[in-house]
């Protein structure tokens, strides 16, 4: 889904989440985004962020958003390319997000907010290890570490039918090619 990444929406989704959780660590934010994107894909046929989730040691990580976080903390070759993002948030202690603004709700649809709220509720009171264990799901187990997780497996985790999972996966591949 990389060509489908919606940077402006992703930034606003991060700000929306940060405003609603106490512990603003990157791990928790990534897990909330994963569950929100999974739910939105299942219910509405598109992800909120358009990001690709990578199976990492501590669970799914949104690839492009992780690149943004790395660049903001100076851990990336592209660290000089994030001046526009520094007005939204900063990263302290390598893993803590400090928002500088409130989310601009013009970027988030009602269905985006619905799925973000549901994912926040699911994750906000969970510890690091609880979130890690919870996110080691079918899609994560079926993917080699460091590789992109299958959209079909992400949808199988929420008990979507094989036909629907295949349809959404094929739809996203077509949209990715047409861009």
User: pTM above 0.85?
Assistant: yes
Neighbours of 121 (CB within 10 A): 12
Phi, psi of 156 (to 5 degrees): -60, -35
Q: What are phi and psi of 78, to 5 degrees?
A: -95, 15
Q: What is the pLDDT along the chain (179 residues), one digit of tens a residue?
A: 346 899 999 999 999 999 999 999 999 999 999 999 999 999 999 999 999 999 999 999 999 999 989 888 877 665 556 778 889 999 999 999 999 999 999 999 999 999 999 999 999 999 999 999 999 999 999 999 999 999 999 999 999 999 999 999 999 888 877 54
């Amino acid at each position: 889904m990389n060509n489908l990444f919606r940077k402006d929406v992703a930034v606003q989704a991060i700000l929306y989440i940060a405003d609603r959780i106490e512990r603003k660590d990157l791990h928790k934010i990534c897990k909330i985004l994963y569950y929100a994107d999974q739910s939105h894909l299942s219910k509405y046929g598109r992800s909120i962020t358009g990001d690709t989730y990578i199976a990492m040691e501590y669970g799914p990580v949104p690839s492009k958003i992780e690149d943004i976080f790395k660049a903001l903390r100076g851990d990336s070759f592209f660290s000089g390319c994030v001046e526009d993002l520094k007005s939204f948030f900063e990263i302290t202690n390598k893993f803590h997000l400090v928002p500088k603004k409130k989310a601009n709700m013009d970027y988030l649809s009602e269905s985006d907010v619905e799925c973000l709220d549901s994912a926040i509720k699911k994750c906000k009171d969970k510890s690091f290890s609880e979130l890690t264990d919870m996110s080691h799901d079918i899609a994560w187990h079926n993917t080699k570490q460091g590789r992109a997780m299958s959209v079909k497996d992400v949808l199988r985790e929420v008990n979507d039918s094989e036909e629907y999972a295949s349809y959404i996966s094929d739809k996203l591949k077509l949209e990715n090619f047409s861009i």
